Amino acid sequence: MSTENEGNEGTGAESASSVPSAPPVPADAPQAHPQDAPPVASHPDATETRQQPVHPAPEQQAAAPSPAPEQTAAFPTTPQYAPPPPPQSAADAGWPPPPPAFPAYAHGAHGGGNGPVWGPPGGTHAPDAPRKRGAGGLVAAVVVAALVAGGIGGALGFWAADRNDDSGSTTVSASANPQDLKRDPGTVAGVAAKALPSVVTIEAQGGDGEGGTGTGFVYDKEGHILTNNHVVASAADSGQLTATFSNGKKYDAEVVGRAQGYDVAVIKLKNPPQSLTPLPLGNSDQVAVGDSTIAIGAPFGLSNTVTTGIVSAKNRPVASGDAGGGSNSYMSALQTDASINPGNSGGPLLSSGGAVIGINSAIQSTGSSGQSQAGSIGLGFAIPINQAKTVAQQLIKTGQPVYPVIGATVTMDEKSGGAVISDRGTGGTDAVTKDGPAAKAGLRAGDVITKFNDTPIDSGPTLIGEIWTHKPGDRVTLTYERDGKSATAEVTLGQRKGDS
Establish whether the linkage from the previous residue to 84 is cis, with ω within 30° of 0: no
Residues of the chain with CATH 2.40.10.120: 184-365+374-400
- The pLDDT tens digits of the residues spanning 265-284 come to 999 999 999 989 999 999 99
Residues of the chain with CATH 2.30.42.10: 402-497
Reported pTM: 0.63
Burial class (CB in 10 A: 0-12, 13-18, 19+), 155: exposed
Catalytic choice (263, 337, 361, 459): 263
Annotation says 435 is catalytic: no
Which residue spans within 99-249 are E strands per DSSP? 199-205, 211-218, 224-227, 240-245
Catalytic choice (303, 329, 332, 345): 345
Longest Cα separation, the chain: 136
- The pLDDT tens digits of the residues spanning 102-121 come to 444 334 434 444 444 444 44
Round to whole Å and give the CA distance between 385 and 357.
5
Round to whole Å and give the CA distance between 456 and 449.
9
Please, which residues bridge with residue 473 across strands?
none
Of the candidate CATH numbers 2.40.10.120, 3.30.1950.10, 3.40.1010.10, 3.40.50.300, the domain formed by 184-365+374-400 belongs to 2.40.10.120
Q: Rg of the chain's alpha carbons, rounded to an integer?
A: 45
Look at domain 402-497 and name its CATH class. Answer: mainly beta
For residue 471, pLDDT over 70 is answered with yes
CA atoms within 13 A of residue 336's CA, in its CB half-sphere:
32
Contact 265, 231 (CB under 8 A): yes
Q: How confident is the model at residue 140 (pLDDT cuts 50, 70, 90)?
A: very low
Round to whole Å and give the CA distance between 321 and 369.
18
Contact 462, 450 (CB under 8 A): no
Q: Which helix (H) or strand (E) holds 158?
A: helix 135-164
Quick one: pLDDT at residue 96? 55
- As a whole-number percent, the residues of the chain with pLDDT over 70 amount to 61
Quick one: pLDDT at residue 497? 93
Sign (positive/negative) of CA torsion 264, 325, 361, 467? Answer: negative
Annotation says 230 is catalytic: yes
Sign (positive/negative) of CA torsion 446, 450, 451, 452? Answer: positive
Contacts of 368 (CB under 8 A, 6+ apart): 374
Quick one: pLDDT at residue 173? 64
Closest C-alpha to 208, from 238, 175, 244: 238
For residue 32, pLDDT over 50 is answered with no
For residue 1, pLDDT over 70 is answered with no
Quick one: pLDDT at residue 247? 94
Catalytic choice (107, 198, 224, 230): 230
Annotation says 474 is catalytic: no
